[in-house]
């Protein structure tokens, strides 16, 4: 395990940090207030070649590694957690299953525009009765000649309705559990495919999140992703990678809050000296920095494992669980250091505190991460 960044990684970090500081930070508060998507910034990310970071150049990507992608999500999230998850959901969830399981035709048609940032991707798994229990999927896809007919709905879908391309999971063979679920590529604009309202969320308000509604949507047979019945495994494998993205988002949010708190602790004078030089605050900062370093190590090493094509599902679950748990602690401590000032709207720590919470919930709650980790440790329970 090396998890050492190279000069090229740090150059990329500097490039994305500059972009985030110039293009996202100045508008982040207003996006949060308005529940508005950063259309222009996402377009520019595409133009910079950052929407397809880990995909080969032949498919429109930047041809960089998984660690580069993690750094990109971290740096965007450092100034705005919402913008970070737009990239994460697009790269890990909307694009990766097509890259990993798509036919050459599917890759040319769907992955190339996604990786070039010409289109935005999303992932439709969660349903009202299939949240943590993703195998409880109720959306159906019935084969009728040369097409499937898709009916049902999805909730809490990141990047909807902005996304153009959706990887959607539906039951093709009822009553056989997870082996009866298949994956499909579904395009926005198809007849019968509509969206519910854009949710009004507590945090990550610059990202869009909406319901997907399928009413007799005709999905051509060639849009089946992988084989019939492989959908659940595709979803699980996709989430293994997605969790590196969410861990990076959590890390970035926490890093931004920590840096703000560190600066404030040097400037704010109470009892005749900067509060950072009073032990109650200096020890808090020491704990925050240590937690950030641990989270970064876990994330970067999971990214390296994925890059090396060795099993990494347990490590990505550990990274996601730990980084999101400490993101809550670090943003809470950062706000505490700011005191009453941090409680005010317009303060970055106030937004970071709200943005951090979702990272312990989506792409598998941290309770589910513990299920995943312990199943790797213990194997299947005795019958
Ligand atoms: N890779 C490949 N295959 C896998 C796998 C993986 N990581 N994990 C499980 N599988 C396979 C199993 O081997 C098993 O295969 P067989 O049928 O051949 O035996 C099959 O999948 C079923 O596995 P389980 O019996 O373990 O499945 P389960 O029903 O007990 O569920 C679970 C396991 C881990 C709890 C799973 O339901 C899960 O991950 N739930 C959380 C769902 C989730 O993360 N949702 C997030 C939605 S997306 C999102 O949040 C995005 C966003 O907003 C940004």
Is 364 near ligand 1, meaning CB less than 6 Å away? Answer: yes
Give the pLDDT of residue 1: 56
Give the pLDDT of residue 262: 98
3-state secondary structure the chain: CCCCCCHHHHHHHHHHHHHHHHHHHHHHHHHHHHCCCCHHHHHHHHHCCCCCCCCCHHHCCCCCCHHHHHHHHHHHHHHCHHHHHHHHHHHHHHHHHHHHHCCHHHHHHHHHHHHCCCCCEEEECCECCECCCHHHCCCEEEEECCEEEEEEEEEEEECCCCCCEEEEEEECCCCCHHHHEEEEEEECCCCCEEEEEECCCCCCCCCCEEEEEEEEEEEEHHHEECCCCCHHHHHHHHHHHHHHHHHHHHHHHHHHHHHHHHHHHHHCEECCEEHHHCHHHHHHHHHHHHHHHHHHHHHHHHHHHHHCCCCCHHHHHHHHHHHHHHHHHHHHHHHHHHHHHHHCCCCHHHHHHHHHHHHHCCCCCHHHHHHHHHHHHHCCCCC
Give the pLDDT of residue 380: 84
Is 219 near ligand 1, meaning CB less than 6 Å away? Answer: no
Rounded CA separation 250/253 (Å): 5
Is 366 near ligand 1, meaning CB less than 6 Å away? Answer: no
Is 132 near ligand 1, meaning CB less than 6 Å away? Answer: yes
Task: Give the closest residue (by CA) to ligand 1 atom 44.
Answer: 364
Is 363 near ligand 1, meaning CB less than 6 Å away? Answer: yes
Is 368 near ligand 1, meaning CB less than 6 Å away? Answer: yes
Question: Tokens standing for 82?
Answer: 């919402």
Q: Which atom of ligand 1 is nearest to the CA of 246?
A: 54
Give the pLDDT of residue 2: 58
Task: Give the closest residue (by CA) to ligand 1 atom 46.
Answer: 363
So what's the ipTM on this one? Answer: 0.98
Q: Give this prediction's pTM.
A: 0.97
Distance, CA of 86 to chain centre:
7
The verdict on whether omega for the bond into residue 161 sits within 30 degrees of 0, i.e. cis, is yes
Q: Which of 23, 74, 315, 363 is catalytic?
A: 363
Task: Give the closest residue (by CA) to ligand 1 atom 22.
Answer: 178
Q: How many CB atoms within 10 Å of residue 338?
A: 22
Q: pLDDT truncated to tens, each residue of the chain (383 aa)? A: 556 799 999 999 999 999 999 999 999 999 999 999 999 999 999 999 999 999 999 999 999 999 999 999 999 999 999 999 999 999 999 999 999 999 999 999 999 999 999 999 999 999 999 999 999 999 999 999 999 999 999 999 999 999 999 999 999 999 999 999 999 999 999 999 999 988 999 999 999 999 999 999 999 999 999 999 999 999 999 999 999 999 999 999 999 999 999 999 999 999 999 999 999 999 999 999 999 999 999 999 999 999 999 999 999 999 999 999 999 999 999 999 999 999 999 999 999 999 999 999 999 999 999 999 999 999 988 88
Residue 363 designated active-site:
yes
Give the pLDDT of residue 4: 78
Rounded CA separation 378/383 (Å): 14
Q: Which atom of ligand 1 is nearest to the CA of 232?
A: 21
Give the pLDDT of residue 197: 83
Q: Which of 70, 121, 71, 72 is CA-nearest to residue 95?
A: 121
Task: Give the closest residue (by CA) to ligand 1 atom 8.
Answer: 236
Give the pLDDT of residue 383: 83
């Amino acid at each position: 395990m090396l998890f050492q960044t190279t000069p090229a990684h740090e150059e990329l970090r500097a490039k994305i940090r500059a972009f985030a500081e110039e293009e996202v930070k100045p508008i982040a508060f207003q996006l949060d207030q308005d529940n508005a998507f950063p259309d222009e910034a996402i377009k520019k990310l595409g133009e910079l070649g950052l929407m397809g970071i880990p995909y080969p150049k032949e498919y429109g990507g930047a041809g960089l590694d998984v660690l580069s992608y993690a750094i990109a999500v971290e740096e965007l999230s450092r100034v705005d957690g919402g913008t970070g998850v737009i990239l994460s959901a697009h790269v890990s969830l909307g694009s990766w299953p097509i890259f990993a399981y798509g036919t050459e035709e599917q890759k040319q048609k769907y992955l190339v525009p996604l990786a070039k940032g010409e289109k935005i991707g999303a992932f439709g798994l969660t349903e009202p009765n299939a949240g943590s229990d993703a195998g409880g999927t109720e959306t159906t896809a019935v084969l009728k000649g040369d097409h499937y007919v898709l009916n049902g709905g999805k909730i809490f879908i990141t990047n909807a309705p902005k996304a153009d391309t959706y990887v959607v999971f539906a039951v093709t063979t009822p009553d056989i559990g997870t082996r009866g679920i298949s994956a499909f590529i579904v395009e926005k604009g198809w007849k019968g495919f509509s969206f519910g309202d854009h949710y009004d969320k507590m945090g990550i308000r610059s990202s869009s999140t909406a319901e997907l509604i399928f009413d007799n949507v005709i999905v051509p047979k060639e849009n089946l992703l992988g084989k019939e019945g492989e959908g659940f495994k595709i979803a699980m494998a996709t989430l293994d990678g997605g969790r590196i993205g969410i861990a990076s988002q959590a890390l970035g949010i926490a890093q931004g809050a920590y840096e703000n708190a560190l600066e404030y602790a040097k400037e704010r004078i109470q009892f005749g000296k900067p509060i950072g030089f009073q032990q109650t605050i200096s020890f808090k900062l020491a704990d925050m920095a240590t937690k950030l370093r641990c989270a970064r190590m876990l994330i970067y090493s999971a990214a390296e494992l994925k890059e090396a094509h060795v099993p990494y599902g347990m490590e990505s679950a550990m990274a996601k669980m730990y980084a999101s748990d400490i993101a809550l602690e670090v943003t809470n401590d950062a706000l505490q250091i700011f005191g009453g000032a941090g409680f005010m709207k317009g303060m970055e720590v106030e937004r970071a505190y709200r943005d951090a919470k979702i990272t312990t919930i989506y792409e598998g709650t941290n309770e589910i991460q513990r299920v995943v980790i312990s199943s790797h440790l213990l194997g299947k329970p005795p019958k």
